[in-house]
Amino acid sequence: MAFENLLRPGKINGMSLRNRFIAGPMEKAMANMDGSLNERYIAYTRERAKGGVALIQLESTYVSADGQGNPYQVGCHGDHVIPGLTRIAEAVHEHGAKLAMELHHGGRQASATTHFRQPIAPSAIPSTAMDTGSVPREMTLTDIKRVTEDYVRAAERCINAGVDMIHMHGAHGYLLGQFLSPQSNQRQDEYGGSLENRARFALEILVAIRKLVGENYPIGYRISALDYVEGGLKIEEAIQFVKLLVEEGIDLIDVAGGTYESMSKIFQRADAPKGGFLQEARAIREAVGDRVPVSVAQRMNDPVFANEMMAEAGFEFISLTRAFHADPYYVQKLMQDQPEEILPCIACNSCVNFCVNREPAGCAVNAITTFEASRAFEKVKQPKRVMVVGGGIAGMHAARFLGLQGHEVSLYEASSQLGGQLNSGRNVLPDYGLLIDWLTRQMNSLAINIELNRPVSVEDVQNLNFDAVIVATGASGRSLKAEEQDVTIPYFDVFSALQRPVSEWKEDVAILGGDLASCWLAKHLGKYGVNVHVIEASAAFASDWQYNGTLLATELGSYKNIFLYPESTAELISGNQVIIQTRGEQTTLTVSDVVVGGRVPNTSLYEALKHSNLQSPVYTIGDAIRARNLFSASQEAAEVAEKISIY
């Protein structure tokens, strides 16, 4: 059997599982404000159970009101949550999966702007990444006893609701991990100092939950094997702590890494290698032997790679999170031996941006994700002939949705290949190319009529006489704004720059613009030793990528050969020099190449069609409206397909 390591049955204590896949916990900002579950959340989870995964962990679920981090986070802090938990357990069980609740307290990473209390923590050391300026209160022994009891009461609610497993969240810098980490725990009592003391809080909670649930009920623990912060937990102490967990009867070790202060490790992006925590998980696997199963998370969504790593390293389970967010039917497609049909997560972290902004965490590649209760593309009774102009991501998504509904779709692309702007980006972020390949295969399987090297005019649209027209002509690179004088150096727009081989870049490059694409280019060139100067008119870099843009900008700032110039503009390019100003102060850069960052929407065809006498409705989507992101492309494609099917 293909993927035999991943698809064979498994077991965690007394719980049998149909395969070795765990849907990892992922905050989605979709719960009610009192922490209870709603039908939108249940529909999302039901779809993952239908898709074949063995065990579903919902998300970090707060056990105390002062442990909450997001106003729309799932809670287990009161009996009012039990009816929703019961409904979601029934929905999961109906489709053959099991349900685990990941019990959590945010500690110093809980949000004062959410629960409106001073955060509590092992020590009065603030988090630099959550509600900065909010100093936590050091927990008293009474606090410790109260939170321990909160964990037990939360576990009891889970049992009453029919939940199959309790998972303790000791990773990502939350309260259990804060006690364990020497960076955040500087206590002088029995809960601080030595590893045994720092481990005491988590172990006491484990013992208390075990007493409640009995010997055969599974309890797991997610650990950050490394904090990736100065003075934080190292793998050597993580291994010693895991051995203590095993002695106290833990049933699963789930290996992750990072804290909010090393967020890029928690949500690794498309330029990160596969298997982000494999090395740490191997070490823990060796340390615990065959006494307890081990699962590993992070960048394991390539099934061939994951299957090989399970065999090689002996992991019992694979924890995928964003992969199931992108394609709930991931496992089912593997069971059918059709891995090429899996809609790939491209690690763009759009979902993270939404959650941090306290909005439902939609998916950039799957427009149905988080809309399971309201969106489905079923066959229509009266198919239409639809023209899609533009074979980029928005155009291909639209063609696919329309094809799923049974419409007759023709897609026209002016260039020689599908994929649009991502054909440039895939050189820097190969995962993005996986989306092009998947959508291209979908075009073929749905028999979409594709015409390449086919620019479209107003006259073409009028003569072809379609029932509806979708303009998805994308965006082009921005033109140079700085004044020019005797320019002797080459300059490129962002697309041609992304496609240029690294070997052709020389010593110093000026990038005029600090948008997301320009920042990815800067990082790409910086990794290969090129000196990069990024000039941005605003105060922030990659601001079109919101929270993740902040992480990328911080990462750029760590490179010694990448120089950031916020609140700056390029005024003049003369010879091989770029003259910039920063708040009125001038600086002259000597460079070998110039890149003009930014993108401009291609609006001309849509505007011309709207002012023509065309009788068919005309729609525009994606970057043809305004240069934005992949999420906008997929969502607007879905919305226009819905409109066309009902007009």
- Strand order through the sheet with 531-535: 491-493, 593-596, 508-512, 531-535, 562-565
Distances (CA, A) of 39 to 83, 232, 371: 12, 40, 11
pLDDT for 545 equals 85
Distance CA 155, CA 166 (A): 7
C-alpha 567/C-alpha 18 separation (Å) is 56
Please say if the pLDDT value at position 133 is more than 80. no
Which of 433, 430, 391, 384 minimizes the C-alpha distance to 409? 384
Is 129 a residue whose pLDDT tops 90?
no
Q: Average pLDDT of 544-560?
A: 89
Residue located via tokens 């053959």: 96
How high is the pLDDT of residue 103?
Answer: 98
Which tens digit of pLDDT belongs to each residue from 558-606? 999 999 999 999 999 999 999 999 999 999 999 999 999 999 999 999 9
Q: How many other C-beta atoms lie within 10 A of the C-beta of residue 504? A: 8
The per-residue pLDDT for 1 is: 60
Residue 347: how many CA atoms within 13 Å on its side-chain side? 25
Q: How confident is the model at residue 132, as a pLDDT?
A: 74
- Over residues 353-389, the pLDDT tens digits come to 999 899 999 999 999 999 999 999 999 999 999 999 9
For range 437-447, the mean pLDDT: 96
Please name which of 253, 303, 305, 262 lies closest in space to residue 282, comparing C-alpha atoms: 253
Write down how long the chain is: 647
Convert 574-613 to b/e letters by CB count within 10 Å (16 or more is b): bebbbbbbeeeeeeebebebbbbbbbebbbebbeebeeee
Say if residues 109 and 174 touch (Cβ distance below 8 Å).
yes
pLDDT the model gives residue 313: 87
Report pLDDT digits (tens) over 462-511.
999 999 999 999 999 999 888 988 888 998 999 999 999 999 998 899 99
What is the model's pLDDT at position 419? 96
Going along the chain from its start, the domains and CATH numbers come out as: 4-356 (3.20.20.70), 385-474+602-646 (3.40.50.720), 479-599 (3.50.50.60)
Flag whether pLDDT at 62 surpasses 70.
Answer: yes
How many other CB atoms are found less than 10 A from the CB of residue 463?
8
Q: Which two tokens stand for residue 308?
A: 């090989």
- With a cut of 70, say whether residue 607 has pLDDT above it: yes
Q: Residue 573: what pLDDT?
A: 95
pLDDT of res. 424: 93
- Which DSSP letter does residue 140 get? P
pLDDT band at 617 (very low <50, low <70, confident <90, very high): very high
Percent of the chain whose pLDDT exceeds 70: 100
* Alpha-carbon distances of 397 from 191, 222, 327, rounded to whole Å: 54, 36, 15
Residue 107, by phi and psi: left (phi above 0), alpha (psi -120 to 50) or beta? Answer: left
Query: Tokens 């490790």 map to which residue?
Result: 265
Residue whose pair of structure tokens reads 């979709």 in the numeric block:
30
Q: Which residues pair with 358 in a beta bridge?
A: none
Mean of the per-residue pLDDT values of the chain? 95
pTM greater than 0.85: yes
Instruction: Tell me the residue type at 255.
Output: V
